[in-house]
């Protein structure tokens, strides 16, 4: 293997570069990047952020210390249109070799919930803000390590004088277990130091008020979105971030966490149409006929133990892709959740329903969530359940914030199931209430359209056996945090998330929800749906807090 001596690069004396890294040569041809330059650029980033060695030549291998290996990762970076932008090389640590309690202690780093991002966008649209996006270059390299971490010399760049020496890190490297936490703490300390305040309940939300003006910042690891009531404040935030970190300003937000974001003069629209088209192409449904609903009306899916088995490798990838899509497609939450129950032993009957969901997506690829500008809103919730909807265990299917799972207690009646669902709905509502309080909205009694049993503080004989943790909803009713109302079954919007309907009823519920026009967020505990209600006249639909 031929070696090229490289003297004095980035402060590394007599480093030698190996030509044997053939993969970077292959991936560099499409953009014309010189492979050597790609590797050197990554090492230069490591050096500039002071992640490299503390003294030239490294150190002798310390006795009793773990030495973490390094390796190169190569990747083609593409944009939202699947066009190649850049070939990248990254030097990463083999963090899987680290031992908890020896090489690291804490590793947890919070990330933004999808609901938090949706609330952020809805609020920005409501306040007529423009949302911008920036990216931190080599974010983890800025994280300050609390532990002493030793790493090997990177392959292809070996110090000829001390080939067996190791490096000790000042800052984190990608791949280290503690790297995400170190970066989050570094960014948090900096933002707090320049006058920003962390969200009460969301540690990834940062705000700063200046008189009547406000800037809100949401972080997701190294992706940052921000908006303000005054454009000059956004420019100021960009400047203070660039003064501390290497930033890439990406302009107005168009693509975030797999969501396509379109900012219009009258609102913000998000969907995953590109992902839908890629999904249909991947599973060869691009030329199939479309379906009008995700599932047939009153359809019951069971284990079908006598049916013909289906390969899990065929079934599971489709389910995983559909679950990812539910971030912006609440219309497929119920059907996808039902099909997801049978991933361990799928049958042809299950696969046929999954294929129907794909055919439904074929006819509705551009559906999404719409947040209108200049509209008042308040928090309102619907809760419902489907008694014995799960034919396998007689437990109802609860959906919380678009995640599907079964209730962990057996209910004996519809009222009891709705009681449990209402309690889970209450948890989500209280979280959103606190989140909105950070934005400056103080809400008193939040209406939940559900059952009436909770409004009566007397223990009902039919609910004595329900776990005590579900009874906290009564406490919040008595304190005035929430208020329960009865809703007619025809106007129960949460039905969309508990059972399948025909085309007419399905799209009636979608329209009542304002789907693709003004739906904010669904959080369904078999099922509860939470959204922001538009209160301005002429919006096409507004739900009264007393009539549903």
C-alpha separations of 38 from 24, 31, 86, 154 in Å: 8, 12, 10, 14
Per the structure block, which two tokens stand in for 13?
Answer: 């004396």
pLDDT tens figures, 251-265:
999 999 889 999 998
Q: Which residues of 113-125 are buried (b: 16+ CB within 10 A; e: fewer)?
A: ebbbbbbbbbbbb
Instruction: Confirm if 120 and 225 have CB atoms less than 8 A apart.
Output: yes
Closest CA relative to residue 129, chosen from 230, 239, 232: 230
pTM, entire model: 0.79
pLDDT digits (tens, 9 = 90+) for 281-330: 999 998 889 999 999 888 888 888 888 999 999 999 999 999 999 888 88
Task: For residue range 48-95, list pLDDT tens digits in order.
Answer: 454 444 444 456 777 878 899 999 888 887 776 778 777 888 889 999
**Cα angle for residues 440, 444, 450 (degrees, 5° grid):** 125
pLDDT tens-digit readout, 268-295: 888 899 999 999 999 999 888 999 999 9
Peptide bond preceding 527 in cis form (omega within 30 of 0): yes
Instruction: For the sheet with 167-168, list strands across it.
Output: 67-68, 150-151, 167-168
Tokens (6 digits) for 8: 């004095």
Residue 252 buriedness (CB in 10 A; 0-12 / 13-18 / 19+) = exposed
Distances (CA, A) of 432 to 445, 452, 471, 495, 531: 13, 23, 20, 22, 10
For residues 280 and 272, what is the distance between their CA atoms, to the nearest angstrom?
A: 12
Please, are residues 457 and 474 in contact by the beta-carbon 8 Å criterion?
yes
**In the prediction, which pLDDT does 52 show?**
45
- For residues 377-382, average pLDDT: 73
Contact 349, 304 (CB under 8 A): yes
pLDDT at 347 > cutoff 90? yes
Three-point CA angle 117, 203, 126, nearest 5° = 35
As a whole number of angstroms, the distance between CA 548 and CA 540 comes to 15
Q: How confident is the model at residue 473 (pLDDT cuts 50, 70, 90)?
A: confident
């Amino acid at each position: 293997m031929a070696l090229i001596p490289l003297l004095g690069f980035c402060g590394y004396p007599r480093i030698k570069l190996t030509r044997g890294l053939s993969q970077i040569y292959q991936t560099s041809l499409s953009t014309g990047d010189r492979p050597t330059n790609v590797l050197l650029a990554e090492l230069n980033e490591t050096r500039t952020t002071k992640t490299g060695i503390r003294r030239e030549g490294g150190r002798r291998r310390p006795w009793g210390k773990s030495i973490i290996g390094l390796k190169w990762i190569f990747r083609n970076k593409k944009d939202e249109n699947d066009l190649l932008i850049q070939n990248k090389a990254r030097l990463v640590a083999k963090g899987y070799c680290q031992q908890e309690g020896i090489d690291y202690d804490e590793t947890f780093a919070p990330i933004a919930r999808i609901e938090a991002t949706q609330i952020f966008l809805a609020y920005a649209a409501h306040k007529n803000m423009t949302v911008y996006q920036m990216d931190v270059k080599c974010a983890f390299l800025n994280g300050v390590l609390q532990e002493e971490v030793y790493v090997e010399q990177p392959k292809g760049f070996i110090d000829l004088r001390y080939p067996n020496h190791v490096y000790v890190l000042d800052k984190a490297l990608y791949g280290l277990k503690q790297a995400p936490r170190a970066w989050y703490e570094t960014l948090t300390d900096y933002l707090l130091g320049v006058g920003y305040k962390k969200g009460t309940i969301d540690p990834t939300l940062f705000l700063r008020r200046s008189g009547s003006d406000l800037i809100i910042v949401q972080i997701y690891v190294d992706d940052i979105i921000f908006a303000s009531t005054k454009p000059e404040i956004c420019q100021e935030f960009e400047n203070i971030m660039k003064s501390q970190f290497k930033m890439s300003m990406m302009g107005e937000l168009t693509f975030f966490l797999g969501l396509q974001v379109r900012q219009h003069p009258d609102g913000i629209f998000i969907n995953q149409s590109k992902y839908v088209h890629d999904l249909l192409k991947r599973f060869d449904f691009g030329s199939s006929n479309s379906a009008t609903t995700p599932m047939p009306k009153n359809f019951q899916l069971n284990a079908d133990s006598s049916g013909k088995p289906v390969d899990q490798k065929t079934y599971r990838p489709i389910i995983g892709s559909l679950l990812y899509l539910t971030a912006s497609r609440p219309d497929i939450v119920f059907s996808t959740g039902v099909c997801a129950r049978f991933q361990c032993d799928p049958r042809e009957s299950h696969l046929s329903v999954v294929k129907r969901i794909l055919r439904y997506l074929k006819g509705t690829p551009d559906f999404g969530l719409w947040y209108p500008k200049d509209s008042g809103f308040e928090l309102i919730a619907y809760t419902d359940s489907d008694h014995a909807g799960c034919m396998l265990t007689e437990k109802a299917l609860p959906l919380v914030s678009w995640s599907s799972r079964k209730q962990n207690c057996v209910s004996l009646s519809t009222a009891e199931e709705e009681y449990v669902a209402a309690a889970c709905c209450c948890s989500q509502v209280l979280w959103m209430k606190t989140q909105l309080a950070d934005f400056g909205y103080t809400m008193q009694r939040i209406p939940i359209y559900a059952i009436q049993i909770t409004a009566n503080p007397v223990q009902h004989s039919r609910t004595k056996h329900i776990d005590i943790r579900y009874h906290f909803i009564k406490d919040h009713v008595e304190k005035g945090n929430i208020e329960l109302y009865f809703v007619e079954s025809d106007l129960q919007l949460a039905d969309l998330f508990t059972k399948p309907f025909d085309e007419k009823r399905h799209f009636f519920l979608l329209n009542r929800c304002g789907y693709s026009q003004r739906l904010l967020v669904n959080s369904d505990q078999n099922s509860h749906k939470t959204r922001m209600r538009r209160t301005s006249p002429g919006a096409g639909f507004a739900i009264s807090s007393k009539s549903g």
